[in-house]
């Protein structure tokens, strides 16, 4: 085992960066959590500088939380699971970052989430938060589906639910579709009384702003609103189909993670819902395990 050749005092930092926030947690060699920090979004699709800033900020917050000085950063071995780095040029740009760590290992947020959810074992995950995507890893096989970003993809995600609801409300307020309770709830949420008021609150805004509407859509669907039900059902049908596609490589475990995982569960098809197992550890722990594995492999080599 390569670990014997490493210092027992080596610290790791697992970083999970997405469209809403960036969470960094520092772990000891034997997986004791000693400090954590949360900063703003870290998705290169929304800007490289902001991504680097969020990573640096969450790291410094984690160091402070662990009672370590800022300069201890250069002693950390970092694992980074980032949204958007399935896109080649973003992967390259972040890999080439003059990072502040001892070593940095980069992969997708899907990969580290999957490692975390199954504590390092093979498996499948679907993430439904601000965005949506699926990932499965079995032996040397892996599948990555969806995650194409707002507003191009991410069907069934919080931002998608919010966008569909806002689209429908605007059509309804212009007289092209039926106004239902969903329209009234969006107007009330923004404290406005017309289509322009909704546009003022959403035009040019990021996916996380749209994702905040998801809870309203889900709650209104539970109250029986036809438009909300149709939106949620369309999103959930896609998530169910996404799961079935991941099951084709026979993952031993399957977890749903992200802010919408629990509220969407009741809307999934039964054959999918029955297979959901709890996520064992958070994505930032998956990022730590990934970093340990990569660092250990390099140290042996």
Least distance to its own copies, CB of residue 140, Å: 20
Q: What is the DSSP string of 109-169?
A: HHHHHHHHHTTTS-EEEEEESSSEEEEEEETTEEEEEE---TTTS-TTSHHHHHHHHHHHH
Per-residue contact flags (x/-) with its own copies for residues 178 to 197, judged by CB under 8 A: -----------------xx-
Least distance to its own copies, CB of residue 47, Å: 9
Of the candidates 102, 148, 212, 222, which one interacts with its own copies according to CB under 8 A? 148
Alpha helices in the chain (DSSP H): 48-65, 88-95, 109-117, 158-173, 181-190, 195-202, 207-211, 214-222, 226-247, 261-265, 270-273, 283-300
Of the pair 176, 278, the CB lying nearest its own copies is at: 176
Of the CA atoms within 13 Å of residue 61, those in its CB half-sphere come to 16
Could you say whether residue 174 binds its own copies (CB under 8 A)? yes
Structural contact between residues 232 and 267, judged by C-beta atoms closer than 8 angstroms: yes
Of the pair 78, 213, the CB lying nearest its own copies is at: 213
| Cα–chain center distance at 180 | 31
Biggest CA–CA distance in the chain, Å, is 70
Of the pair 156, 286, the CB lying nearest its own copies is at: 156
Of the pair 64, 151, the CB lying nearest its own copies is at: 151
Q: Considering only 10-18, 56-64, 79-87, 121-129, which stretch makes contact with its own copies by CB under 8 A?
A: 79-87
Could you say whether residue 127 binds its own copies (CB under 8 A)? no
Distance, CA of 56 to CA of 33 (rounded, Å) = 19
Terminal CA-CA length for the chain: 12
- Burial level of 206, CB count in 10 A (0-12/13-18/19+)? middle
Could you say whether residue 241 binds its own copies (CB under 8 A)? yes
Q: Considering only 64-72, 109-117, 144-152, 214-222, which stretch makes contact with its own copies by CB under 8 A?
A: 144-152
Of the candidates 42, 114, 115, 170, which one interacts with its own copies according to CB under 8 A? 170
Of the pair 54, 59, the CB lying nearest its own copies is at: 54
Q: Crossing angle for the helix pair 158-173 and 195-202, nearest 10 degrees? A: 150
Could you say whether residue 145 binds its own copies (CB under 8 A)? yes
Of the pair 179, 241, the CB lying nearest its own copies is at: 241
Least distance to its own copies, CB of residue 80, Å: 19
Could you say whether residue 278 binds its own copies (CB under 8 A)? no
Coil, strand or helix: which one is 242? helix
Residues within the interface to its own copies (CB under 8 A): 45-46, 84, 86-89, 145-146, 148-149, 151-153, 155, 163, 166-167, 170-171, 174-176, 195-196, 198-200, 202-204, 238, 241-242, 245
């Amino acid at each position: 085992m390569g670990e014997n050749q490493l210092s027992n005092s080596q610290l790791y930092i697992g970083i999970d960066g997405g469209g809403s926030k960036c969470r960094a947690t520092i772990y000891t060699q034997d997986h004791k959590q000693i400090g954590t920090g949360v900063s703003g979004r870290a998705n290169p699709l929304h800007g490289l500088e902001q991504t680097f800033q969020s990573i640096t900020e969450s790291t410094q917050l984690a160091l402070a939380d662990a009672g370590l000085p800022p300069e201890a950063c250069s002693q950390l071995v970092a694992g980074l699971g980032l949204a958007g780095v399935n896109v080649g040029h973003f992967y390259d740009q972040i890999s080439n970052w003059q990072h502040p760590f001892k070593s940095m290992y980069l992969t997708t947020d899907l990969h580290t989430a999957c490692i975390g959810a199954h504590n390092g074992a093979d498996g499948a995950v679907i993430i439904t938060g601000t965005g949506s995507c699926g990932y499965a890893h079995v032996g040397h096989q892996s599948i990555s589906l969806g995650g194409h970003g707002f507003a191009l993809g991410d069907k069934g995600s919080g931002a998608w639910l919010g966008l569909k609801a806002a689209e429908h409300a605007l059509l309804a307020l212009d007289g092209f579709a039926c106004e239902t309770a969903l329209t009234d709830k969006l107007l009330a949420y923004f404290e406005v009384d017309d289509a322009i008021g909704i546009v003022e609150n959403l035009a040019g805004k990021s996916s996380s702003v749209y994702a905040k509407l998801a809870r309203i859509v889900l709650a209104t669907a539970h109250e029986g609103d036809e438009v909300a039900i149709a939106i949620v059902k369309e999103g959930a049908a896609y998530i169910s189909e996404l799961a079935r596609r991941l099951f084709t490589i026979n993952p031993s475990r399957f977890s749903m993670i992200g802010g919408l995982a629990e509220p969407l569960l009741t809307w999934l098809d039964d054959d999918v819902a029955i297979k959901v197992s709890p996520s064992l550890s958070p994505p930032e722990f998956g990022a730590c395990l990934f970093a340990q594995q990569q660092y250990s492999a390099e140290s042996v080599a």
